Amino acid sequence: MKALLILTLVLTVTACGKKGVVMEPSSMGVVDSLTGKKDFEFQKVVNEVNCIDDMLKAELGEKETIKKVLTDSDINYCNGLRVRVKIFKISGDKIRAYGFAESSSGKSSCIKDGSDFNKALFRGYEGTLHGDGITISLGGHTYNGTKLIKSDGRKTKYVDFDIASFSGEMGFFENNKLKCWATN
């Protein structure tokens, strides 16, 4: 009986005290701290939901509400350039524009109304929509063959959006270079 008790005690101590070596999986390899940071960073996805709905929710104040969606359009123009724009009327009669722009080069960006963006009653919108490397110019300009210049014409002074088209003038800039200018 004593022998059995001693044998059980020896086996328990040996089993509990047994040390193993933890090996990394063969597929894991060595991770450099700088590379590891890069590998595990999440890339922000630029799409219509992030650029329009999520940005609006993030920037809407506590007491602000959406009164009305004034414009909801998705425009393809100038050989593959795409602009998705939603313009909202917020409480206090503020106008805010959010959108998604994609260039024919594959660059995409969220766009938002600039400080010069405004709405003229019964005529449309004018100003700029700014993004990361992409800017959309709405109305107020004409193209003289080399650059955009201030417009005197009433037809191009403002932009009216339809679901899939627009009337007026729009300029598309990528990295501050005019990529497309169109009057419709």
Q: What tens digit of pLDDT does each residue of 91-127 get?
A: 888 999 999 999 988 899 999 999 989 898 888 999 8
Tokens 């001693």 found at: 6
Q: Which two tokens stand for residue 121?
A: 């009653």
Q: How far apart are CA 15 and CA 9, in angstroms?
A: 10
CB distance 141 to 149 below 8 Å: yes
Please report, as a single letter, which amino acid is at residue 136.
Answer: I
Q: Which two tokens stand for residue 32?
A: 């450099």
Please state which of the ranges 12-21, 118-127, 130-139 shows the lowest mean pLDDT.
12-21
Write down the mean pLDDT value for the chain.
78
- Position 145 scores a pLDDT of 64
Residues in the chain: 184
pLDDT at 23 over 50: no
Name the residue with higher pLDDT: 1 or 88. 88
Condensed to tens digits (0 to 9), the pLDDT of residues 24-51 reads 444 444 444 444 444 444 456 777 888 9
Condensed to tens digits (0 to 9), the pLDDT of residues 52-61 reads 989 999 998 8
Q: Which two tokens stand for residue 160?
A: 């009216």
- Position 41 scores a pLDDT of 47
- Position 155 scores a pLDDT of 61
Name the residue with higher pLDDT: 19 or 46. 46
